Chain A
């Protein structure tokens, strides 16, 4: 199946720092999604991107849908302790934003130190 390469695998940052992570694919997607997973919980959607080149913000989060449709990045500005968790990118080829047939990246584990 398709593979999504997500980097970095993990990062330790200090509170207040900005964070950047990205996801690349060997094939195109029509939708890119970014999820956050807290320990013992299911993933929660942070940002959804539906058009190539789209740049979308949600509070301190900003994500972009790459123009080639094969990549996406997520930035977190001014990180706070509750940003700790695992961040997943997910690509979706059929339709727009449905739960079916999501292909997930391997995740970026974020830890924030005071």
Chain B
């Protein structure tokens, strides 16, 4: 069972470079979301999607873009990386059906911007 798969696991970027963090899930979940985790802080929501073709901003969306062309994939794009975007990024997915919808997280992508 693959669950939520994130690639790459580690990445080093130079300031100003762009890249895409990949997230794929094979559980047919409607909801997908991206969080970043910084030392001493909980996970903070960047962007989320309630289904294919629909995305919305979370708490810290600046500097990131997302798209949801398929149910399975939810890539996160950094257009011009900045050192402040050094963080660990987690993708999560869940069903849309109340009341019990467990959120499954990927293993994370550790990004360093120098």
List the interface of chain A (C-beta within 8 A of B): 1, 4, 6, 33, 40-45, 48, 50, 88, 90, 95-107
With contacts defined as CB atoms under 8 Å apart, how many contacts are there between chain A and chain B in the complex?
A: 86
A-B contact list, 13 entries, CB within 8 Å: A43-B105, A48-B100, A50-B100, A90-B42, A90-B43, A96-B99, A98-B94, A99-B33, A99-B94, A99-B101, A99-B103, A104-B42, A106-B41
Q: In angstroms, how far is the closest chain B Cβ from the Cβ of A74?
A: 15
Interface-lining segment among B14-22, B44-52, B64-72, B76-84: B44-52
Q: In angstroms, how far is the closest chain B Cβ from the Cβ of A108?
A: 11
Q: How many residues of B contact A (CB 8 A)?
A: 32
Contact (Cβ within 8 A) A45 B102: yes
Residue of A nearest to B91 (CB): A42
Residues of A within 8 A of B102 (CB): 45, 48, 97
Contact (Cβ within 8 A) B48 A40: no
B96 within 8 A of A: yes
Complex Cα distance, B68 from A106, in Å, reads 29
